[in-house]
Amino acid sequence: MHATGAAVAVETEEPLSLGYDAATKNDCEFNKDFRHCFTTVDDVQMHYVVGGEGSQVMVLLHGWPQSWYEYREVMHTLLPGRTVIAIDLPGMGDSTGTPPSMARSVLATYIHRLLNQLGHHENVQVVAHDFGAGVAYALAAQYREQVAGLFLMDYALVGKNMKAADFTSMSWHFSFNQQHPLAEELVTGHVGTFLTHFFQSMKTGFGDPVSEHELAEFVRVFSRPQVLHAGFELYRVWPQDEAENAVFQKTPLTIPVHLLSQAGLTPLALPTFQDAAPKATGSDVPGAGHFLVHEAPDRVLAEINAFYPAS
């Protein structure tokens, strides 16, 4: 299935986030095939990275506490036959401006409008991790003609059967990140310490869940006050997501949906997506943790290409 809408030549804007290319300005491989772009959608200047000229459009959506950069090491391999667009979610990464809410339905509307401005109205392949998977579901549920399928990584969907309250005790940061304004007050000025501790707490037998240069980039973007706040807000709006998803789930998705999870999570997470897409499939990555793109890139790429065969 291919994106039928022709791409529109959108002139990139002057970036409001001046450090946007800190991790890529000396990356010759990246700069050969990809470019940073900025387009304002409503009150947010959206930052996204684009590469390739293929007829099939693939959109990559990141999780917390990351940015588009979580996909840096696999993006080149995804290029053949595709146009690849890695987006910083509204309020996060090098996107600038504050959306009215960090609810997944709201963030999805920004993604929808950005893709429309770029001319991608139909049959977009979506790959998403963590909270990006929640945004991806809200995009598909609200704008069904735009999405060809959902390839999702390591996320459970609140809604009809999974409740927001179920998450609070699952990890220390689920509770901490919801504390307002305490989380911002404690972490501001200590982002490096906070993220280093967080990623180390997620370490598995695969080694560190992110590389040193990835950690440095995530510390940079989360040191932007708006991004730190927006990231914590992702956790605070779970009750709204629960209510909205329960409504969305009344009209099941018919597009293909596949969930790739860390070791042992599929029995918990897959049924939450089958509430939304009854034919959704899922599998684990043995021994892996939450950060699958870094920990098991070959498996992730193989699964993406099997789910979305390149033309």
Tens of pLDDT along 185-200? 999 999 999 999 999 9
Is the per-residue pLDDT at 2 higher than 90?
no
Which residues share a beta bridge with 38? 47
Residues 6+ apart with CB under 8 A from 6: 119
Torsion of CA 41, 42, 45, 46, to 10 degrees: -30
Mean confidence (pLDDT) of the chain:
95
* pLDDT average, residue stretch 38-54: 97
Q: Measured between alpha carbons, how far is residue 306 from residues 1, 7, 222 in Å?
A: 14, 25, 34
Domains present along the chain, CATH in parentheses: 29-161+241-307 (3.40.50.1820)
Which has more confidence, 207 or 300?
A: 300
In this prediction, residue 289 carries a pLDDT of 95
How would residue 311 be classed by pLDDT, with cut points 50, 70 and 90? low
Distance CA 23, CA 73 (A): 12
Question: Distance from CA of residue 207 to its chain's centroid?
Answer: 22
Tens of pLDDT along 111-167? 999 999 999 999 999 999 999 999 999 999 999 999 999 999 999 999 999 999 988
Is the per-residue pLDDT at 228 higher than 90?
yes
Tens of pLDDT along 156-177? 999 999 999 988 888 999 999 9
Is the per-residue pLDDT at 271 higher than 70?
yes
